[in-house]
Amino acid sequence: MAGHILAASGSDDAPPPVAEINVTPLVDVMLVLLIIFMVTAPIMLNQLPVTLPKPSMVQSDKPPEKLAVSFDLQNNYFIQQNDEPKQAVAYADLQARLRALAESRPDEVVIVCADKDSIYDRVVDLMAIVGDSGFHKVTLCP
């Protein structure tokens, strides 16, 4: 009886089983997803509310004030306000001079300048002195 079942299932007329993946359903699903995303993407982009600031028509004739603190390779420190010439300041007096300037204009941006061959620790030390003097906006020279 076991031979009869084998003979019926293994007939010579039946094609052999196919061991390949049928990609047609996969392509169909991908095309449907592509169409869905193409339709929904423009709809999603139009729903983003954006409020842009209006430009100010107020123009100031007064140029912005500039305060620069710098040092050179010979350990000389300088303070420069606006377009005035640099004023040499001793290291011991630097923080006191900066505190006096910070009392009159604490929100001013202070530019710290140094020579390209300067030691990094001295630049960080100068930035700390400026910060401890009362200035909260400190930047480096371009």
> Per-residue pLDDT for 9 more than 60?
no
**3-state secondary structure string across 22-91:** CCHHHHHHHHHHHHHHHHHHHHHHCCCCCCCCCCCCCCCCCCCCCEEEEECCCCCEEEEECCCCCEEECH
Q: Which of 50, 49, 68 is nearest to 110 (CA)?
A: 68
pLDDT of residue 51: 81
Give residue-wise pLDDT tens across range 67-123.
899 988 888 899 998 888 888 999 899 999 999 988 888 788 899 998 888 888 889
Name the 3-class secondary structure at 131.
helix
Domains of the chain, earliest start first: 67-140 (3.30.420.270)
How far is the first Cα of the chain from the last one, in angstroms, to the nearest whole number? 95
Strand partners, 111: 68, 139
Helices 120-132 and 91-104, packing angle to 10 deg = 40
* Residues 10-52: tens digit of each pLDDT: 556 788 887 888 889 999 999 999 999 999 888 777 666 778 7
